[in-house]
Amino acid sequence: MGEPDYWIWTIQIGRWRYARDLGIPIIDITVKSGIQAFAPTWENLNAYRAGVMDKREYAQRYYEKVLEGFSQDQREWQALEVTRNMAFACYCKTGDFCHRHLFAPLYITYLQSLGRRVQFLGELVPHPNNIGLYARSEN
Ligand SMILES: [Zn+2]
C-alpha cells in the first residue's frame, strides 16, 4: 500500500473555519446551497425531519435519488476528482444521522471503481491529532 490518492472526511458546515485552517476544502452537499447531485430532495428531507419518514426509508430514497442521477449525468462526480483531500458538508450536527454519512461511502466507492486508493477519515472535528494535517496541506 502506498499513500492514498484521496482523503475523505465529513464535516458539519459550521466548522468550515477549522477545515480551512487545515487546508481541507469543504464540499457543500446541502439541498439548500450545495451540489444538488449529492443532496437529498426537499420532499424527502422534510418528511424525515417531520418524523413521517424513518431513517431506513430516508436512506433508501436518498440512495435511489443520487444513484439515479449518477446513471444520467456523472459530471459532478468527475468534477470532484481533482480534489484529493475534501470534507463532505451539511448542516446536521456531528453525531446525527444524515446524508453526508450516506454520501461519503458512495463517493469513496466511485473513486475505488476508478482504481484510486481512498482513505476515509470520518467526521472532521477539532482534535489535537489533526495537527499533523497542517504538514500535509502544504504539499
Ligand atoms: Zn445533513
- Specify the pLDDT at position 139: 42
Residue 35 sits in which domain range? 6-137
Whole-structure pTM value: 0.91
DSSP letters along the chain, please?
--S-SEEEEEEEGGGHHHHHHHT--EEE--TTTS-GGGSPPHHHHHHHHTTSS-HHHHHHHHHHHHHHHHHH--HHHHHGGG-SEEEEEESSPTTS--HHHHHHHHHHHHHHHTT--EEEEEE----GGGGGHHHHHT-
Tens of pLDDT, residue by residue, the chain (139 residues): 579 999 999 999 999 999 999 999 999 999 999 999 999 999 999 999 999 999 999 999 999 999 999 999 999 999 999 999 999 999 999 999 999 999 999 999 999 999 999 999 999 998 877 766 655 554 4
Distance 51 CA to ligand 1 centre (A): 15
In a domain, 1, yes or no: no
How many angstroms does the Cα of residue 91 sit away from the middle of ligand 1? 5
CA dist 117 and 98 (Å) reads: 25
Structural domains counted in the chain: 1
- Tell me, yes or no, whether 97 lies in a domain: yes
Distance 90 CA to ligand 1 centre (A): 5
Cell numbers at 22, concatenated: 487545515
